[in-house]
A and B are shown apart, each in its own frame.
Chain A
Amino acid sequence: DAGITQSPRHKVTETGTPVTLRCHQTENHRYMYWYRQDPGHGLRLIHYSYGVKDTDKGEVSDGYSVSRSKTEDFLLTLESATSSQTSVYFCAISEGQSETQYFGPGTRLLVL
């Protein structure tokens, strides 16, 4: 299995609070991605990174920001959490932009 960890694995927070999710990889892959998975919507890309300090928006980026200061870490921040951001968040990595993506175990986030 690809060396990808996500933290925390579960989180309950209140509306309006900031939340940061962390993705850590030990594979030295250049590309990293954040997805959310919701019933009825499947997996949707939030943000992605193609190198240190190089990030861009995905399909559902509103309300989210990301940062990547080191190759191994990709942070996803919900600036002010809303109930619509209750979801399961997955991080993925790939060696090349058209290569296989490897997924982390996910973070379950509940916003009350």
Chain B
Amino acid sequence: KQEVTQIPAALSVPEGENLVLNCSFTDSAIYNLQWFRQDPGKGLTSLLLIQSSQREQTSGRLNASLDKSSGRSTLYIAASQPGDSATYLCAVLPLTDSWGKLQFGAGTQVVVTP
């Protein structure tokens, strides 16, 4: 069974620093990997989706890399802002399952201090 791990569980950085969030998965047979953001009491917002054939994906200050062979993805957020404070979740879509059954990590809670 695919297992997705996010370390650390919580992270605090001063405003302006770059954020580096890690996601690891045990089975490299994946369709894609997705990064989400969740604000307290809210639903998930999709940030980036990386296909298994891609090495990275970028959107504004966000950049996500994927190393499928080593089972790792990293989300970089440049020049962090207090508004980036949220919980960030990664999820993988296993190749063995074709019905969108995402496997989620537990998330990294990020606090950006002014």
Contact = CB atoms under 8 A, between A and B. Distances in A.
Chain A partners chain B: yes
Given A42-B105, A42-B106, A101 B100 contact: yes
- Dominant secondary structure at the A interface: strand
Interface stretch (A14-22, A73-81, A103-111): A103-111
A90 B100 contact: no
Sort chain A's interface into a size bin: 20 to 34
Interface of A: 31, 33, 40, 42-45, 48, 50, 56, 58-59, 90, 92, 94, 97-106
The 9 residue pairs across chains A and B that have the minimum distance between CB atoms: A103-B44, A103-B43, A43-B104, A98-B31, A42-B106, A97-B100, A105-B43, A42-B104, A100-B46
Given A58-B101, A100-B34, A100-B49, 18 more contacts: A31-B99, A42-B89, A42-B104, A42-B106, A42-B107, A43-B44, A43-B102, A44-B104, A45-B102, A92-B44, A98-B31, A98-B100, A99-B100, A102-B46, A103-B43, A104-B43, A106-B42, A106-B43
